[in-house]
Amino acid sequence: MVDFLSKGGILVIPILLCSIIVFAIFLERLIRYAVNRTRGKEIELKVTGLVESGHMDEARKLAEQSNSPMGRVLARAINAGGLDRDTLETIIINATDREVRDLSAYLQTLATIGNIAPLLGLLGTIIGMIKAFMVIQQMGGKVNAAVLAGGIWEAMLTTAFGLAVALPAMVAHSYLISKVDQYEARLQNGSVLFLKALAGRET
């Protein structure tokens, strides 16, 4: 396998590095999302229930102890509970945006790798083709089809490697983006539940 990869030229190294980065980011994000889901399971329902019953201190403590995106947003909302409605909504929006940015960390890197990996592969192929034709020129054009074909397939290896890295990177990016969208929707729904519970307690 190492010998096969080495035939692709020097640009195989950055492409392989890209593949390692893609795998590391995808695995880290999956673990992060799974932990957040476990920690914050139904936290919005529990916290809003305490808010409706007037147990604000217990609600704040529960939200902070959950150490989840939903919990942190609700904790900030509870801490700002004495402010007017517009200011409270602004604080909730800012807290939600902050959590979404944190959940989206490194995802742009996946998209970037998905874009540059094929270009690295194409560059490697072009360099390989140039070398192949330089050999042909040095041989005075006296080269058989087998030699020419061998030089071409080795040159095209980097394009294949680049595509093999880019496709999983783009799939991983799309999948993780959908997860972030789900979290964002949940944060928004949880914020609405909190505001309703707060309004119900004040009436």
The phi and psi torsions of 186 (rounded to 5 degrees) equal -65, -40
In 3D space, the residue among 3, 11, 16 whose CA is nearest the CA of residue 129 turns out to be 11
Q: How far is CA 88 from CA 20, 64, 68, 118, 120, in A?
A: 43, 18, 20, 47, 48
Mean pLDDT computed over 145-173: 83
Q: Is 9 helix (H, G, I), strand (E, B) or coil?
A: coil
Lowest mean pLDDT among 1-15, 49-63, 136-150, 183-197: 136-150
Question: What digits encode the pLDDT tens for the residues 142-157?
Answer: 666 666 666 677 778 8
The phi and psi torsions of 8 (rounded to 5 degrees) equal -80, -10
Mean pLDDT computed over 63-92: 87
Question: What digits encode the pLDDT tens for the residues 8-37?
Answer: 678 888 999 999 999 999 999 999 999 988
The pTM (predicted TM-score) of the whole model is 0.83
pLDDT of residue 179: 94
The phi and psi torsions of 93 (rounded to 5 degrees) equal -65, -45
* Helices (H), ranges, the chain: 2-6, 12-39, 43-52, 56-66, 69-79, 85-103, 107-138, 145-202
Mean pLDDT of the chain: 86
Percent residues over pLDDT 90 in the chain: 47
Distance CA 9, CA 145 (A): 22
Under a CB-based contact definition with an 8 Å cutoff, are residues 69 and 138 in contact?
no
Token couple for 135: 């050999």
